[in-house]
């Protein structure tokens, strides 16, 4: 057997290795990891002595899902001078600091200090002494691989970098030039989501302004914390693409039903999770969010229990010309109605009366959203597009 090229850690335990043969990339669990009572790295990577082989430079979908997307991935490839297919080299460049509790480093190396502990400490109520432009430049200088990226649709187009406040870790999102008021947009709809009477909650967020008056959205990380001893606490996270063993490129190509069943099949309380997923799809429909794709729905495992993650990434795409849902519901991305959501709920195991009640409650919880959205500082055409979509979506559920 060849020498491994990469070591894979779950939490701080060596869990596996990547090997490269002439034509394949091979994943194997470490013998020491298998000999103990450890959880698998992911739901799609069950504990086994058997290797998993992938053609050329491809990786198991779970690991590809840890890579950045869009412009950041393109920039990373360019800076490393590696081909599009060499996913292992790309992962080694960013693998020591990924979402969740899995890290990948070069074979024989030691886990580096947690970058989150090095994140700049801030006071979320006072950004007047901070320049977001300088923060961004400093982040890119210290870690070129972390260059904030642009994904294919709206919610991924914010520039993002880490900050901390005491024992809480945050991401600061900034608006890119091509999507006006994207930060204010997401802040507004995250606030709206807080009014939903859901069990899983919404990521903690706050709209902030630097000394130059530039807006930013401070979002608390739900996959990180800091333990009493000052160390980073990492929580296992898998998005629906990873749960379905699909690559990120497929995040729009699965149905809402497939995504929902993948999640409810893993969590401890599947019926409650099904209702929460219904609530999230209803909210996406009501708010014109066309980017609730398979990577924007996740599960988190902490304390041995797996649950649906809090709501995150919820800007309306309507002001930017995208009025279709990201995932098909009963084969449709447009023209949804209460009847369609009721049938969707039944396929998820939620009885029609419960879904009807959920629709009624969601409409009540979002009462006044249209009027408040009309006060957002979009130009006239974007504001009219947003308000029109919000009004029509409410009518579509009220009229059935």
pLDDT of residue 326: 97
The mean per-residue pLDDT over the stretch 308-322 comes to 95
pLDDT band at 119 (very low <50, low <70, confident <90, very high): low
Nearest to 280 by CA among 203, 335, 181: 203
Which tokens go with 323?
A: 């009025």
pLDDT of residue 153: 41
pTM of the entire predicted model: 0.91
pLDDT by residue (tens digit) across 40-52? 999 999 999 999 9
Which tokens go with 184?
A: 């204010």
pLDDT by residue (tens digit) across 185-196? 999 999 999 999
Residue 172, SS3 per DSSP: strand
The mean per-residue pLDDT over the stretch 124-141 comes to 70
Query: Alpha-carbon distance 330 to 318, whole Å?
Result: 22
Q: Which residue has the higher pLDDT, 144 or 362?
A: 362
pLDDT by residue (tens digit) across 222-256? 998 877 777 888 999 999 999 999 999 999 999 99
Q: Which residue has the higher pLDDT, 120 or 383?
A: 383
pLDDT of residue 159: 61
Structural domains of the chain ordered from first start: 6-106 (no CATH), 115-220 (3.30.200), 233-398 (1.10.1070.20)
Nearest to 7 by CA among 138, 77, 102, 108: 108
pLDDT band at 266 (very low <50, low <70, confident <90, very high): very high
Mean pLDDT of the residues in the chain: 89
Quote the strand ranges of the chain, DSSP E: 6-10, 13-20, 24-29, 52-55, 102-106, 120-121, 159-165, 168-174, 205-209, 215-220, 224-226, 232-234, 236-239, 298-302, 305-308
The mean per-residue pLDDT over the stretch 318-325 comes to 96
pLDDT of residue 123: 73
The mean per-residue pLDDT over the stretch 110-136 comes to 74
Side-chain-side CA neighbours of 105 within 13 Å: the count stands at 16
CB of 57 within 8 A of CB of 25? yes
Kind and range of the H or E run holding 216: strand 215-220
Residue 156 has pLDDT above 80, yes or no: no
pLDDT by residue (tens digit) across 157-214? 556 667 777 777 888 888 888 889 999 999 999 999 999 988 889 999 999 998 899 9
Q: How far is CA 55 from CA 20, 22, 129, 246, in A?
A: 10, 10, 51, 15
Query: Alpha-carbon distance 391 to 13, whole Å?
Result: 52
pLDDT of residue 149: 33
The mean per-residue pLDDT over the stretch 307-330 comes to 96
Kind and range of the H or E run holding 381: helix 380-398
Residue 65 has pLDDT above 70, yes or no: yes
Residue 95, SS3 per DSSP: coil
**Number of residues assigned to the chain:** 400
pLDDT over 90 for what percent of the chain? 66
């Amino acid at each position: 057997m060849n020498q491994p090229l990469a070591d894979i850690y779950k939490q701080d335990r060596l869990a596996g290795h990547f090997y490269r043969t002439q034509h394949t990339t091979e994943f194997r669990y470490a013998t020491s990891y298998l000999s103990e009572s450890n959880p698998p790295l992911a739901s799609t990577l069950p504990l086994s002595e058997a290797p998993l082989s992938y053609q050329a430079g491809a990786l198991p979908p779970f690991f590809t899902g840890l890579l950045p997307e869009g412009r950041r991935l393109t920039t990373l490839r360019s800076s490393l001078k590696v081909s599009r297919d060499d996913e292992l080299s790309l992962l080694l460049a960013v693998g020591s600091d990924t979402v969740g509790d899995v890290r990948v480093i070069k074979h024989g190396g030691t886990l580096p200090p947690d970058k989150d502990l090095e994140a700049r400490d801030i006071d979320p109520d006072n950004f007047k002494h901070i320049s977001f432009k300088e923060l961004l430049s400093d982040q890119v200088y210290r870690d070129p691989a972390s260059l904030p990226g642009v994904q294919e649709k709206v919610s991924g187009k914010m520039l993002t970098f880490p900050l901390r406040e005491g024992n809480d870790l945050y991401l600061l999102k900034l608006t890119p030039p091509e999507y006006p008021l994207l930060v204010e947009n997401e802040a507004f709809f995250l606030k709206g989501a807080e009014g939903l009477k859901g069990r899983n909650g919404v990521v903690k967020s706050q709209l902030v302004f630097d000394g130059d008056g530039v807006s930013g959205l401070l979002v608390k990380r739900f996959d990180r914390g800091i333990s009493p001893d000052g160390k980073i606490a990492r929580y296992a996270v898998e998005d629906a693409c990873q749960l379905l063993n699909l690559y990120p490129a497929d995040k729009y190509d699965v149905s809402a039903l497939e995504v929902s069943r993948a999640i409810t099949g893993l969590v401890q309380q599947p019926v409650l999770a099904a209702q929460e997923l219904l609530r999230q799809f209803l909210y996406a429909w009501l708010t014109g969010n066309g980017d609730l794709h398979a990577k924007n729905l996740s599960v988190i495992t902490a304390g041995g229990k797996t649950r649906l993650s809090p709501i995150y990434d919820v800007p309306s795409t309507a002001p930017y010309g995208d009025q279709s849902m990201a995932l098909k519901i009963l084969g449709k991305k447009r023209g949804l109605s209460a009847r369609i959501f009721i049938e969707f709920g039944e396929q998820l195991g939620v009885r029609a009366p419960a879904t009807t009640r959920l629709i009624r409650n969601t409409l009540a919880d979002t009462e006044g959203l249209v009027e408040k959205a009309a006060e957002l500082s979009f130009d006239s055409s974007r504001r009219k597009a947003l308000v029109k979509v919000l009004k029509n979506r409410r009518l579509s559920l009220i009229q059935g």
